[in-house]
Amino acid sequence: MTSNRWSDLERPPLNAPALRRAILTPDGFWTDLEVVETAGSTNTDLAARAKEGAPEGAVLVAEEQSAGRGRLNRRWSAPSRSGLFFSVLLRPSAVPVEHWGWLPLLAGVATATALSRSAGVDTALKWPNDLLVTIDGEERKTGGILAERVGEDGIVIGIGVNISLRYDELPVPAAASLALAGAKITDRDPILRAILRSLADWYAEWVAAGGDPALCRLQQTYAAGCATLGRAVRVELPGGREVDGTAVAVDGDGRLVIATEGGGEQAVGAGDVVHVRPAG
């Protein structure tokens, strides 16, 4: 039988016209929203558009990615229409560049908040860029975030969330989906709308605060939802170096602060970290 966009009725396509009507409002932040059937990487494709002058607030959504990427170019793959795979373009020119490192963490807070409210699934954050849900008492990754600089004034943020993946479709045993975590809905349209609205709200607050993560309560909110804090961790750094200790805070620069076994503290940035794992 020939496959078409309606061949899997359990995973219907996104309703692009309805999404545009809901998201692209005259007084809203988002300026463009396009849904494509397939993309290599929405981050790569939107970055190319950003270099050609695409406006802030552009959104690119793919029903399927053939070359989706996570942090450090790790592969992200999932069946068509089984999740949300999209990127947004931000141009935070009013915010000092030294605060831009908070944008992936901001996206994590906005996405976790939206998933909890729209799908009814408690969603936690693993520093720096993972979204976690709990299944049978075990924390599993259901999503991730990738932020990339484009030119002098652009940031493309990619967000991937597994929505309806079944156990036999999970790419690795530690992966998960909202459906497996007992989501009250798996309709991707309202979930995407919720994420974009939450992201726009948090971004507006952050910009209004000049990027100060404490002033807009981003730092406090991230810490409250971060499952990494308070746990014994082993941080793997480039060159085979490791830092062992307890994750105690996220500092004003978005770095993870580790209380080391020798009694001191060491802050590590996302750009310097290969893995953050439970100690032992």
Residue range 189-196: average pLDDT?
98
Residue 21 to residue 15: CA distance in whole angstroms? 10
Asked if residue 197 has pLDDT above 90, the reply is: yes
Q: Which CATH architecture has domain 16-224?
A: 2-Layer Sandwich (3.30)
Do 123 and 232 form a contact (C-beta atoms < 8 A)? Answer: no
User: Do 16-224 and 228-278 show the same overall fold?
Assistant: no
End-to-end CA distance of the chain: 50
Q: Work out the angle at residue 112's Cα, subtended by the Cα atoms of residues 106 and 118, and round it to the nearest 5 degrees.
A: 130
Do 128 and 104 form a contact (C-beta atoms < 8 A)? Answer: yes
Question: 280 falls in which pLDDT band (50, 70, 90)?
Answer: low
173: CB partners within 8 A, 6+ apart: none
Asked if residue 76 has pLDDT above 70, the reply is: no
| Rg (the chain; Cα; Å) | 18
Q: Is the peptide bond before 26 cis (omega within 30 degrees of 0)?
A: no
Higher pLDDT pick, 132 / 171? 132
Q: What are phi and psi of 204, to 5 degrees?
A: -60, -45
Asked if residue 99 has pLDDT above 80, the reply is: yes
Q: What are phi and psi of 158, to 5 degrees?
A: -100, 135
At 10 the pLDDT is 83
Residue 202 to residue 256: CA distance in whole angstroms? 21
Amino acid at 174: A
Domain limits, the chain = 16-224, 228-278
Residue range 37-57: average pLDDT?
96
**pLDDT tens figures, 254-272:** 999 999 988 899 999 988 8
Residue in this structure with the two tokens 């002058």, named with its chain if needed: 53
Q: What percent of the chain has pLDDT over 90?
A: 83
When the pLDDT of each residue in the chain is averaged and rounded to a whole number, the result is 92
Do 32 and 24 form a contact (C-beta atoms < 8 A)? Answer: yes
- Topology, domain 228-278: SH3 type barrels. (2.30.30)
User: Could you tell me the CA-to-CA distances from 67 to 80, 144, 246 in Å, in that order?
Assistant: 13, 15, 35
At 275 the pLDDT is 80
Q: Work out the angle at residue 46's Cα, subtended by the Cα atoms of residues 92 and 50, and round it to the nearest 5 degrees.
A: 50
User: Could you tell me the CA-to-CA distances from 174 to 132, 171, 275 in Å, in that order?
Assistant: 10, 9, 15
C-beta atoms surrounding 232 within 10 Å:
14
